């Protein structure tokens, strides 16, 4: 394990400035770590050593000339295998996609990272078309959790979560239409934020449209802020993108004095593992120590699972609508089942779900007139056995049944983050969920940064329990 592999993006950039490290050294180290650990966790489905080293050499020369091209120049990064990337296949974990390409277009996210000088190492694994909360697919297999490789890294950005946990590259792209950034961050002890919908452009459009957010997954809050400053820009191709952010993503601070925090242990309807609940309660006590005014109160809505499931199934049906019957037989059976459910929905079903979504948006807007942030457990459980859509023996049928804290805030399009807050009795990570009002991302990031600085949790240096 090299010392380079422990450094954050903020630290790397300082080393590049003072010429104590070069982007080539850092990229070579990242590639060696991927070569060593990726066979154990399956974080990457595609690695491009030649392209990465060429980019690193160009970055090294810019730093030697004193002319870095952008805020991320020379920092190793990854792109999720749902996002178009020039020179790398985007197979979306599906046997229905072609390996032929051509791979000649960058999505906005990729283009912004490349323009800022990030060294793109490869593509991280996802479930097929990102459809579920764990990461395994018919094309590339199972992604495992570095904290215990018998367990899942979560999903759908499970590859990015595993890569962030092991620093297989430093900056990682996630996408989140129902929890897909926050679930793997909670399971892998990393940080990630689903920013307010519209800040980060998405093209081609997700089949989940108004539910889907793109965002960063990193080891630290500061590294995610670096990414947000790069990726949260308008792109004319995205018809849903909002106005650009004009205020800072993060205001430095060492305490949370004056912040109004609503703490809900279970939203009034979630069954939370007692070991998880204990860790989260201790984290909330930490927020009080940091000066926050904390009130225990539920957000006041009933479980919107039916609303979310209607929109999710409609998106899945849209995704598979143009596929042949032969292609459909190649799909993950769970995805095909949800798509078939979507095909049976009526226009009235869909519009009713949109109306219920609008009511939830209004409810949470009123809630945040009294509270700056809402905090809760990120997940009601810790990571479970890899290769299963639901915890074995749980009796559950769908992935949404074990992630009830995530999808309400895809419906409302609010900023929501997972920050590591400790380990459960089984030694697996627990995440604290921090949710803010729409466009109040800076409050979410402030809570996460101040908490993480005051109560740091350990990072992994190598996978545990290798299979």
Specify whether the CB–CB gap between 247 and 196 falls below 8 A.
no
Q: What are phi and psi of 217, to 5 degrees?
A: -135, 120
For residues 159 and 174, what is the distance between their CA atoms, to the nearest angstrom? 9
For residues 444 and 446, what is the distance between their CA atoms, to the nearest angstrom? 5
For residues 19 and 15, what is the distance between their CA atoms, to the nearest angstrom? 6
- Which helix H or strand E contains 76, and what residues bound it? strand 76-80
For residues 390 and 377, what is the distance between their CA atoms, to the nearest angstrom? 18
Residues labelled as active-site residues: 80, 156, 180
User: 3-state DSSP call for residue 265?
Assistant: coil
Specify whether the CB–CB gap between 109 and 233 falls below 8 A.
no
- The DSSP line for 312-354 is HHHHHHHHHTT--HHHHTTS-HHHHHHHHHHHT--HHHHHHHH
**Sign, Cα dihedral of 226, 231, 234, 240:** negative
For residues 217 and 210, what is the distance between their CA atoms, to the nearest angstrom? 21
For residues 126 and 294, what is the distance between their CA atoms, to the nearest angstrom? 37
- Strand locations in 125-268, DSSP E? 136-137, 141-142, 144-145, 148-152, 171-176, 191-194, 213-218, 260-263
Q: For the chain, what's the residue count?
A: 467
For residues 229 and 222, what is the distance between their CA atoms, to the nearest angstrom? 11
Q: Which residues contact 400 (CB under 8 A, 6 or more apart)?
A: 133, 178, 305, 308, 309, 312, 407
Which residues are paired to 436 by β-bridges?
373
Token pair recorded at residue 203: 């093209």
Tell me 236's DSSP state: T
């Amino acid at each position: 394990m090299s010392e380079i592999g422990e450094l954050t993006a903020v630290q790397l950039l300082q080393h590049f400035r003072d010429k104590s490290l070069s982007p080539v050294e850092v990229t070579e180290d990242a590639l060696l770590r991927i070569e060593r650990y990726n066979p154990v966790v399956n974080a990457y489905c595609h690695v491009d050593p030649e392209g990465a080293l060429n980019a690193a050499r160009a970055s090294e020369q810019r730093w030697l000339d004193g002319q870095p091209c952008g805020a991320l120049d020379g920092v190793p990064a990854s792109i999720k295998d749902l996002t178009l990337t020039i020179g790398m296949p985007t197979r979306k974990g599906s046997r229905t996609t072609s390996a032929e390409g051509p791979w000649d277009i960058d999505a906005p996210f990729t283009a912004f990272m490349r323009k800022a000088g990030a060294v793109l190492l490869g593509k991280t694994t996802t479930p097929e078309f990102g459809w579920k909360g764990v990461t395994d697919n018919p094309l590339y297999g199972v992604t495992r959790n570095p904290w215990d490789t018998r367990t899942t890294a979560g999903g759908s950005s499970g590859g990015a979560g595993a890569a962030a946990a092991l620093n297989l590259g430093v900056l990682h792209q996630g996408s989140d239409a129902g929890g897909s950034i926050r679930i793997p961050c909670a399971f892998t002890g990393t940080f990630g934020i689903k920013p307010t919908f519209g800040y980060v452009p998405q093209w081609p459009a997700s089949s989940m449209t108004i539910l889907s957010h793109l965002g960063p997954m990193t080891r630290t809050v500061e590294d995610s802020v670096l990414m947000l400053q790069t990726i949260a820009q308008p792109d004319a191709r995205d018809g849903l993108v909002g106005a650009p952010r004009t205020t800072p993503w993060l205001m430095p601070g060492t305490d949370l004095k004056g912040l109004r925090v609503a703490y809900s242990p279970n939203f009034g309807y979630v069954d939370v593992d007692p070991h998880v609940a204990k860790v989260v309660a201790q984290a909330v006590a930490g927020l009080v120590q940091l000066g926050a005014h904390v009130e225990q109160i539920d957000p006041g809505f009933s479980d919107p699972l039916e609303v979310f499931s209607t929109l999710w199934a409609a998106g899945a049906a849209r995704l598979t609508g143009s596929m042949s019957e032969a292609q459909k037989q190649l799909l993950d059976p769970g995805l095909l089942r949800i798509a078939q459910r979507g095909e049976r929905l009526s226009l009235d079903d869909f519009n009713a779900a949109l109306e219920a979504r609008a009511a939830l948006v209004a409810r949470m807007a009123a809630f945040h007139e009294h509270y700056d942030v809402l905090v809760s457990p990120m997940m009601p459980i810790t990571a479970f056995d890899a290769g299963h859509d639901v915890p074995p023996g749980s009796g559950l049928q769908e992935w949404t049944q074990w992630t009830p804290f995530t999808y309400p805030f895809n419906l409302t399009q609010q900023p929501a983050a997972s920050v590591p807050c400790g380990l459960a009795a089984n030694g697996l990570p627990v995440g604290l969920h921090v949710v803010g009002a729409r466009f109040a991302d800076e409050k979410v990031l402030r809570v996460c940064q101040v908490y993480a600085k005051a109560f740091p949790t350990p990072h992994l240096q190598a996978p545990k329990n290798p299979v």
